[in-house]
Amino acid sequence: MLQSKTITKLLKQSLKPIPQQNESLAQPLAVSLLSPEGIPLVTSTNTPSILTNDTIKIYSLIARHSLVSGWTIVQFEDGIKGIVSTIDCGRVDTGASDAHIEIIPGSITDDIEHDEDKRDDVLFVVLFYDSTVTDAVAKVKIDSLVGALNDGLKGYLRS
């Protein structure tokens, strides 16, 4: 399980500038780890940032609730975008075989989609960026961050 200082370091690493072909630097604006409801738990910003804390909270809620599954890119005002992705913090496999899954014919996919919003073992991460960062670069950054957080937050459950 990751400590809060380690989570902050991981978030800050995703904000490092990326050299571009035209010798300029593309740098994301901010990154937030979000609760299942979309509330920022930990946020890291580049200074000076054009995003205020209130703006980050609002954009985080919008991004979280725009996500249908996996990841998505959300266009905000003033040319700011956010890419939001799911972090699965499911229970650590203890090797116990007492789990039982019952498959019942019917509209099972509808039940699964509705249950996804209610899961307490899912967190979200959102990376905010502007036109200096391409969508492809943002996707690579969020994927590497999600990979590290998926491993490090395994077993985290809300109480």
Instruction: Tell me the per-residue pLDDT of 99-115, one tens digit each, with 9 for 90 and over.
Output: 444 444 443 444 444 44
Instruction: Answer whether residue 100 is part of any domain.
Output: no
What is the total count of domains within the chain? Answer: 1
Mean pLDDT taken over the chain? 79
Instruction: Answer whether residue 112 is part of any domain.
Output: no
Instruction: Answer whether residue 58 is part of any domain.
Output: yes
Helix (H, G, I), strand (E, B) or coil at 50: coil
The pLDDT score that the predictor gives to residue 136 is 92
Partners of 86 in the β-ladder: 124
Domain of residue 128, CATH code: 3.30.450.30
Tens of pLDDT, residues 113-133: 444 445 567 899 999 999 989
Instruction: Answer whether residue 147 is part of any domain.
Output: yes
Instruction: Write out the residue range of the structural domain in which residue 58 sits.
Output: 4-91+117-152
Instruction: Answer whether residue 111 is part of any domain.
Output: no
The pLDDT score that the predictor gives to residue 7 is 85
Instruction: Answer whether residue 102 is part of any domain.
Output: no
Contacts of 78 (CB under 8 A, 6+ apart): 50
φ/ψ (deg, to 5) at 103: -100, 120
Measure CA 97 to chain center.
31
